[in-house]
Amino acid sequence: MVRRLSVIALSLAVLCASIPAPALALSTQQEIAIGKEYDKQITDTTVVVTDPLLNQWVNDVSNKLWAETVRKDVPYSIKILDVSDINAFSTLGGYIYINLGTLDFVQSDDELAGVIGHETGHIERRHVVTGANKATIIDILFGIGSMFSPLLYRFGQLLEAGVLARMSRDDENEADKYGLLLMSRAGYDPDAMKSFMAHLGSVEHEGHGALDKYLADHPEVDKRLANLDGDPGLNPQTRSDEQRTAQAIHDFDTARYNIAAMKFTALLDKHPDDSTVRFDLGQSQLALGETTRGEQNLVSAAEQVSPQAKNLADVRIKALRAAAAKLDLLHPDLSPLRTQLQTAREDETQAQTAISTRRQAGLDQLRSISDRLQNVAYEIPSGLSQAQAKPGSRLETVLHNLNTMSKSIDETTNKATMVLSGVGTLERYKQGGMLRDNQEILDQLASPLQLDAPPPQALAIFPDYARMLARMGAGDADLVRAVDASRVSLARLDVGLADLDAFVRELDRALGTFLGSDIRPDAYKQLEPSMIKAVDSLNRAGIAASQSAQLYTMARARQLQTRIDMLGLQESLDRYATFQHALDVRFHTAGPTYDQLIAQDLTPSDVAAATIIGADTNATGPAILAEAKENDRALVDTANDRGMNAQALEIFLDLVWFDYTDNPAKEALGQT
């Protein structure tokens, strides 16, 4: 979407003379030129994510989609913006932007393809530059340009002016349909566009603030789902069983095991005698640890599918039963584990108390900062929006530094908000965030300890309880430090706003000394010290906020390692093989063998984390494991030592976990 066209509205006054009227007459080259100007302004006011693995992921998915586009004269590109809101938007000429918060929200490559496909659809269909209503939008943006300043947008003084640039419902629906077409042609599962909408719907019903801007720019989720249901390729009444089977096989082949199992189950409900589908369902269930049901479906279907399938089923079932028998012989003494868990609960309670107090103080700071931002915004000189800066002029330097200040302010408030909201609370009727998640994890770890005969999956992870609980303790320490760092960043922002206020007053005086179209040299000389001071002060706030976000996402990565290990993928060679396949699909390496996993006393999440860190920092998974062991460092800390963005590690660990747990139907019902 064009949510942030308002960010670059200041440049529209300059561009106005070069844009033909009506907008319908824009050529592709003119469209690209305008998109390039927009891109300059967007990247000048927003931090662009440079993490290599995240960019490789986004570009790999995008390039597969763009290979299927019609507008071959458009040089498509995509950038990741360091913004925690769930949103994506496109401007003109092939420029697409996706927020980091969206990458943290999608649950598969296919869902990401749906988001990018939708934005590509807007550009393919020329929604911004064709039709009378779009010409009106451009006119509105020109009007905004006459009153715009960079800081005014950042402080929300335009009443979210970007909302004026919303696409029509018809355009949004058309972009969805075009995105579906691209997804299908590129080999992605078009159902993922619906599952993404279902995930959005669950968050929308929770009233999550991270979704506000997405909902401001796009139609309501329920309406978009209804539109997608009307598509012949997605409507259960019109879609062929061959299509549904092909999509389910694709999901299994790309390691989306839970989604595949759901689809095979639906197909089998319709065709209970289909042995091939039953066999595929059995394989999916084995991947998910549903051993009994998986065995039953494999045995029932194997002989009817093929001799090769029967042999494969026999081998897998034999291996699973051998692994279960071996685990059943363990009969560990669970008393020490219960004691460790009780200690972890007590530590968690102490951490929750410390975090809760600090978080509330941080939220109070955020409210105070918000009020102060509004006051500073009102003081921005009105004459600034009337000035047109020439390249190399003193005025251009001032505007550039205003954008730099704006970027620091946005980065600080964005990251501090992400940390303080993401940590969450256990307050009655307000439970949420990582504190609630940690409590749920401890409850899940406690559950099998109450059983007289724990199942094989639980027996497989009992030896790793100490490591999982230690990770959670380290994560709690990270969260405390993250909240403290976010408060420091807000305190520094408060100081920076005082410096900004002083600069704004100096700027007002300087703008009254215009010489031609520029600030007089003597006035600029007086202005410069306060400008430099404000830039440096606000930059320090942004750095502190980035440090707080790093600590917070390190805690999330540790939590996800625990979640992955709780899947019990080390239960058997066969289940571990499904995990290796998942790594190979995404990172083109299967990691250590099962024997190496056992011999080196690794957990599946160790393997996943090492693989991701290696792919991101130009190393191999085994080298990362060796480095962590040599330095006696946790893998999350090793990633931090190597300068890796912890959010990249957290995002890719999340994708691995979702391979086994993604369930849009449960999520829609408020279940996890």
How many residues are listed for the chain in this entry?
A: 672
Tell me, yes or no, whether 492 and 608 share the same domain.
Answer: no
Considering the domain boundaries, does residue 275 fall inside one? yes
- What angle, rounded to 10 degrees, do the helices at 521-566 and 465-511 form? 160
**Among 274, 275, 313, which residue's Cα sits nearest to residue 294?**
313
Tell me, yes or no, whether 89 and 200 share the same domain.
Answer: yes
Candidate from 125-129, 201-205, 587-591, 603-607 with smallest mean pLDDT: 201-205
Tell me, yes or no, whether 516 and 605 share the same domain.
Answer: no
Q: Which pLDDT belongs to residue 472?
A: 96
Tell me, yes or no, whether 273 and 320 share the same domain.
Answer: yes
Q: Which pLDDT belongs to residue 328?
A: 62
* Domain final residue, candidates 540, 558, 576: 558
- Report the predicted TM-score, pTM, of the whole model to 2 decimal places: 0.89
Tell me, yes or no, whether 187 and 65 share the same domain.
Answer: yes
pLDDT digits (tens, 9 = 90+) for 147-188: 333 444 443 333 333 333 455 667 787 888 888 889 989 999
Q: Which pLDDT belongs to residue 554?
A: 98
Tell me, yes or no, whether 147 and 290 share the same domain.
Answer: no
Is the pLDDT confidence value at 219 over 80? no
Considering the domain boundaries, does residue 383 fall inside one? yes
Considering the domain boundaries, does residue 242 fall inside one? no
Domain total for the chain? Answer: 4
pLDDT digits (tens, 9 = 90+) for 250-300: 999 999 999 999 999 999 999 999 999 999 999 999 999 998 898 889 888
CB atoms inside a 10 Å sphere around CB 521? 10
Tell me, yes or no, whether 367 and 409 share the same domain.
Answer: yes
Tell me, yes or no, whether 547 and 572 share the same domain.
Answer: no
pLDDT digits (tens, 9 = 90+) for 570-598: 988 889 999 999 999 999 999 999 999 99
Share of the chain above pLDDT 70, in %: 83
User: Are the beta carbons of 558 and 472 closer than 8 angstroms?
Assistant: yes
Is the pLDDT confidence value at 79 over 50? yes
- Domain of residue 20, residue span: 3-229
CB atoms inside a 10 Å sphere around CB 34? 24
pLDDT digits (tens, 9 = 90+) for 402-438: 888 988 998 999 999 999 999 999 888 888 899 999 9
**Top-confidence residue, 72 or 308:** 72
CATH code of 301's domain = 1.25.40.10
Tell me, yes or no, whether 312 and 394 share the same domain.
Answer: no
* Domain final residue, candidates 269, 296, 328: 328
Considering the domain boundaries, does residue 241 fall inside one? no
pLDDT digits (tens, 9 = 90+) for 336-362: 999 999 999 999 999 999 999 999 999
Q: What share of the chain is helix, strand, coil (3-state, %, to 5)?
A: 75, 5, 25
Considering the domain boundaries, does residue 240 fall inside one? no
Average pLDDT over residues 39-57: 91
Tell me, yes or no, whether 261 and 159 share the same domain.
Answer: no
Beta bridge partners of 665: none
Candidate from 76-85, 201-210, 220-229, 293-302 with smallest mean pLDDT: 201-210
Is the pLDDT confidence value at 460 over 50? yes
**Among 544, 557, 549, 611, which residue's Cα sits nearest to residue 583?**
611
Q: Which pLDDT belongs to residue 456?
A: 81
Tell me, yes or no, whether 277 and 214 share the same domain.
Answer: no
Considering the domain boundaries, does residue 154 fall inside one? yes
Q: Which pLDDT belongs to residue 139?
A: 44
Considering the domain boundaries, does residue 606 fall inside one? yes
**CA–CA gap between residue 535 and residue 292 (Å, rounded):** 63
Is the pLDDT confidence value at 605 over 70? yes
Q: Tokens representing 326?
A: 């071996």
Tell me, yes or no, whether 448 and 478 share the same domain.
Answer: yes
